């Protein structure tokens, strides 16, 4: 990671999305598409005690991925196939070490299943 404070400046939702990418990366499930990442975040968010209220929508995930990419924390892969509408869905991979992410995010967002 080129900037040590990149994780300090991201929002709670961005952190949740980033932790989802980290968990899926560790499971060998990356590159990951937005809808798959949203599903993962929804499944694991309920197990984390935090002050986040509400749900994480696919639009939230998409916006977070754009911000995380801009911060140099994830990278977008070119779509390998087209969707039924003819558009490819981008997929994202982690561009920093999972250990760096776990060390720098709030402890209350890191649950036992992602360590």
Tally of CA atoms within 13 A in the half-sphere of 48 that contains its CB: 26
CA distances from 75 to 11, 39, 46, 78, 90 (A): 18, 19, 27, 10, 10
Q: Which residues of 44-61 are buried (b: 16+ CB within 10 A; e: fewer)?
A: bbeebeeeeeeebeeebb
Beta-bridged to residue 33, according to DSSP, are 91
Tens-digit pLDDT profile for residues 87-115: 667 899 999 999 888 888 766 566 533 44
Residue 79 confidence (pLDDT): 61
- For 79, the token pair is 């779509």
CATH number of the structural domain 12-80+88-102:
1.10.10.10
State pTM to two decimals.
0.78
């Amino acid at each position: 990671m080129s900037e040590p404070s990149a994780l300090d400046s991201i929002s709670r939702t961005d952190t949740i999305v980033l932790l989802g990418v980290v968990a899926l990366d560790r499971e060998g499930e990356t590159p990951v598409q937005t809808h798959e990442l949203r599903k993962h975040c929804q499944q694991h968010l309920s197990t984390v005690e935090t002050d986040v209220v509400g749900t994480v929508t696919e639009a939230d995930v998409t916006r977070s991925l754009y911000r995380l990419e801009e911060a140099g924390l994830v990278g977008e892969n070119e779509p390998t196939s087209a969707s039924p509408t003819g558009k490819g869905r981008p997929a994202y991979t982690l561009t920093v070490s999972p250990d760096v992410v776990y060390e720098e995010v709030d402890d209350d967002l890191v649950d036992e299943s992602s360590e």
